[in-house]
Structure 1
Amino acid sequence: MFNPNPAATGNCTIVFDIDEQKYLFVSESFYNLFEVSADHLRQNVDFLIGLVKPETFAGVKQLTEGLAMNESIQMTYYLEARQKQLTEKRTLATDGLTGHKIILSNITSALDGVRTPIPFSKPGMNEQFLNSLIDSQTNFLVRIDINGRFSFANRRFFKTFGYDEGDIIGHHFSKTTIPQHARLCEEVFMNCINNPGKINRLVHKKNAKDGSLYDTEWEFVSMTDDSGAVVEIQGIGRDITLQMQMREEALQIKDTLEALINNTRDHIWAIDTELRYMYMNQAYVEQITHLTGVRPYEGQYSYKHEGFSSQIIDEWTVYYNRALNGERYSIVSESIDPINGQRLYFEVSFNPIYTTAGDVIGAGCFGHNITDRLKIQKELIGQNQRLKNIASLSSHELRRPVASMLGLISLMDHEDFFNPENKEIIAHLFTVSAEIDTAIRLVVDSTIAK
C-alpha cells in the first residue's frame, strides 16, 4: 500500500480488499485525519484497531460482518487519544475487475449511524464507481499486464504527464521510463511477477509527453486470479519532483556549510549523551591527530581515545557533562606541541544541543587557537611594565641629579669665572653629570624587552 504524505484535513476514502486482506486505496487526508502513519495500516487489517475503545471496535466489526452485498452502514465513533468524533459510511461491494469483495469506507464529520442500501442496478456499476473513486485521487494508479503493457491509468496520471489513453494503454511501460532507469523498472516488474502479494517500492524519473521529467515514488504489487496466477501488476505512485528539488537544495546548502566549516581553522565538534563523537570538522581531526598521533573518528567514545591520558579524559568528561546538563560556558585549554614543545592554548566553548521538545541530546564544542593572542597580550603587559619603569626612573633617578645640576649652576660666579669657588662647583657638576649618565642608561635598559 502506498504511503502518501499527510495532506489537508477533511473527509477521506479507504478501499479494503476482503479476499486479499489488504488496502487498495487510501486518501492522503487519512493520515492527517487519524493522526497515524502508514505503518499503522501495514500492521492492522482494520484501521480502527487501537484507535477506538474495544467495545466500539467489536460493535463496528459486528455491523460490518452483517452487511449484505451493496449495503452500507453509517456509524459514528470517537477516537479517544485524538479527542475526535468521526462518521464512517462503510459499504460492502464487488470489484468489477477482480470480482473480489471490497469494503468502501467514506469518513467525514460525525452523524448518527443508520443502515441505507446502495442501488447497483446494472452489471459493471461497481467498476464504474471504483473508477470514479480512483480518478478523484491525487495519487497515480496504473495497471500493467504480465507482458509489461499498460492496461489502465487514472486521470491524475494522464493529467500530470500529458498523455492521452491512446498514448499509454496497450504500450509497454518503458515508454514513460528514462533509459537510465529502465533496468531498475524491469527488476521491480519481475519481482512483482515472481513474488505475488509482495509490495515493491520504486523511485525513478518519468518522461512526460512534452519531454519534461518528473521524480516519482511508487509501490507495485501483483494481482492474482482465483488460481493464484499473476494477471496484472498494480502501481500506486505520486509526484515527488518538488520534494526532490527541495532535497537537492538542502544537500547543496549542506555541502556549502560543510565546505565553510571545513575551511575554517577553528575546531568544531559535537558529542552525544554517551560522549561519542557525532561530528568533527577537518581542523579538529587534524589537530587531535597532530597532538596525540591517533586519528579520531565519528562514533568513537571521546573518553576512550587512545591518545589522551586518563587525567585529560577525566577533565574533559567533566566538561562534557556540564554541557549535557544544560550549562553554556567557555574554558582555556592548554596543550603541548609534540614536535617543538611549544605550549598551545585554545579557547573552547561548550553549548548544549536541544531537541524541539527541549531535551538535551548532545553538546556542540567550538575551539579557537589563542596562542598568538596570549603571546601578544603577554608582550603588551611587558611593554606596559617597561613604560612604568621608565616613568619611575624619569621621575626619581633622572630628576634628582638634574635638580642638583641646576642648583650648582645657579651658585656659580658668572661675573668672575676664575673665582676659586667656581672650580669646586665645576667638580660637583662632573659628579652630577655622571649620575645623569647612569640614570639615562637605566632608562635605555628598561626600554629593551628581556
Structure 2
Amino acid sequence: MIAYSEALQHLLDASTPLPAERLPLHEAGGRTLASDIHSGQSLPPFDNSAMDGFALRANGAAFDAGTEFAVQGWQAAGDAGAEGGEGTWEIMTGARMPSGLDTVVPIENVEILASEDGRPTRIALKSPVKPGQHVRLRGQDVSDGERVLQAGQVLDINARTLLHAIGVGEVAVVARPKAAVIATGKELVTEAAQALESGQIRDSNRPYLVGRLQAAGAEVVWQGTVGDDVAAFNAVLDQALAAGAQLLVSTGAVSAGRYDFVPDALRGRGARIVFHKVAIRPGKPLLFAVLPNGALYFGLPGNPVSAAVGQRFFVEPVLRRLLRLAPETVLQLPLQADVRKPPGLRFHARARVEVDGQGRLSARVLSGQESFRLMSMLQANAWVVLEAEGDLANAGTYVRVQGWGHHEPVQLVSQE
C-alpha cells in the first residue's frame, strides 16, 4: 500500500499531454486551448456612441447649458463612416462616430428647437457637456495584437463570445482523452426500471462515471458491463480498446475476494500494475495499470463512493495532465465541527461548504460517510480532504476543500 502523494506522482508520470486539433469555434465549447490567442483587431473596431443622442466636436472644451447646434446629419448603427463637420449629428447607440466628432449628448439632455420631416435640424443643450463623454473608443476593450486568451484556458461561453467578437472562427484545442467505462459483477442490472431478482443490484456506477468523465473533459467511446468472468472481461476490454479508449475505468473486482479477478486478468494481458492499494478511505483497493499499448487502466472499487473518490482524485488529475491544464487550485476552509477519521489514511469526506449571515465560509462534513451511501453524495456540494496523519480534525482547523469535479466550483449554500 502506498501513500496518495506517491500514487499521484505515478499517475502523472504515466500521463502524456495530448496533441492539438483545430475546431470551428461553435464546436469548441468546453474544450481546452492548445495555444495563446492574440486579437487580430481592436475592440471596439471604431469609435462609437454609447448612447442614443447627438454627436458633436468638443475638442477638449466643455459646453454650457443653452448652447445651440445645427444638426448636419444622422448616423445609425451599421452606417459607414461620415465626415462630421462643425455641427452635430443625430446618432444611435453603437453607431460609428462621424470623423472629427468626439462627444455624445444623450437625447434626454437636449431640446429640439427645429425639425424637418420628423428629423431634428437644430438642438439646444439642457445641461453642461463634458468633452469625450459617452463615446466608446477604438481598442478601449481589446487592442490589436493583445493576448486575450492563454493556452490551457477552458473555452466557456464568455471566452467564446470574446473570440467571436474579434473575428476568430477556428481555434486550436487539446484533443479530448478517449475513455471507456467497464462495470464488473454478475449481480448488476443495467436497466434502471428493470425489476430486481434476489441478489441483484442496479448498475449506478457506470452512468455516474460516464457523466463524471464527460464533465471532466473526456470523450466516452465505450461503456458496458461484464460478469465475474476473465474471458468475458478480456472480450469487453478488447472492444473498449478497439473503440480507441486511451483511458479505461472499471468498477469492482479489485479487492482480495474470490471474484476479484481484475488484477490477475490484467497481468495475463501483459499489463504493468503500477500500484494496487492506496492509503486512502474510501477506495483503498484502487488499482492503476498501464496496458501493453500504453492505455491507462484505473480499477476502482465497486462501492459507489469509493468509485466516486477514485474518479475525482485519481482519474481527474490524469485528465488535467492529458488536457494540459495546470494543477488544480483548492480552497482551505475551517471545519464547523470535529471530524473523526481512520488513522494513517487520507480521508475523502462528502461535505457542504456553507456561508453564514456574515458571509464567512466553512465546511461541514456530512453524516453517513460509509462508502455505500448515495444520499450523502446528493446532499454534498464539495469534498473535504483530511490528510493521513492523526485520527481527529478539530473544529476550526483549516482543511483542503475541492469541488465535486475539477471543472466545477463549489456551489455555496446557506449555513443550516
Q: Give the TM-score normalised by the residue count of structure 2.
A: 0.24
Kindly indicate whether structure 1 or structure 2 has the higher relative contact order, using CA contacts under 8 Å at least 6 residues apart: 2
Structure (1 or 2) with the greater helix fraction: 1
Q: Which has the larger radius of gyration?
A: 1
